Amino acid sequence: MSQTSETPSQPTILASFRTREELEAALSYLEGEAISRSQISVRHADAPSETPSHTGSEPLREDEHRNLRTMRTSMAAAAVGMAAAGVVVATGGAALPAVGAAVAAGAGAGGLSEAAARATGTESTAASEHGQAIVVVKPANVDQTERARGILRKTSAIDVWEEPAS
């Protein structure tokens, strides 16, 4: 009786780097450990044209999440602004004091939210602290996963993390 053993999917290993030289050194080490270039992709923060196209299986980057949050917030603010202007116009200006008070309350809530974020240390960090490039390794087996994780941790990566296999 033959048994087929499927290799479980391996997590994706990611690492961010400050400089191109650090990135190139890490790529050299990875390729030297028999991790093929087809399993490695690089995302550059300053050159979006070099970013691989989104296939649906790749995770969104932090800046993509931030852009989506900003877009949703901006659209909501625009909708509220248009609704407030409509109320003021419809009432002939009678609702202007109430709309002004609501805007002031919203600004106060936004300020409190920003203050809370700063107090908890969740505010955004300076651009210089972020990596200029991210290496994404999709290992084929457990051995490659361990080797990639070890190499990226030993190189001068700012951060190394994993995303579960999908």
pLDDT band at 93 (very low <50, low <70, confident <90, very high): confident
In this prediction, residues 97-119 reach a mean pLDDT of 70
* Global pTM value: 0.47
What pLDDT, on a 0 to 100 scale, did the predictor assign at position 117?
Answer: 62
The yes-or-no verdict on residue 123 having pLDDT over 60 is no
CA distance 131 to 82: 39
Instruction: Write the CATH number for 141.
Output: 3.30.70
Domain interval for residue 154: 12-45+131-163
In this prediction, residues 17-24 reach a mean pLDDT of 87
Q: pLDDT tens digits for 131-157?
A: 788 899 999 899 998 999 999 999 888
Return the ∠ at Cα 37 (arms to 154 and 130), rounded to 5°: 50
Q: pLDDT tens digits for 47-73?
A: 444 444 444 555 566 667 677 777 777
94 occurs within a structural domain: yes
| 102 and 73 co-located in one domain | yes
Question: Cβ distance 135 to 42 under 8 Å?
Answer: yes
Beta strand pairing call for 12-17 and 40-44: unpaired
CA distance 86 to 46: 42
pLDDT band at 126 (very low <50, low <70, confident <90, very high): very low
What pLDDT, on a 0 to 100 scale, did the predictor assign at position 157?
Answer: 87
| 116 and 135 co-located in one domain | no
CA distance 76 to 88: 18
What pLDDT, on a 0 to 100 scale, did the predictor assign at position 20?
Answer: 84
Give the chain's domain count.
2
The yes-or-no verdict on residue 120 having pLDDT over 70 is no
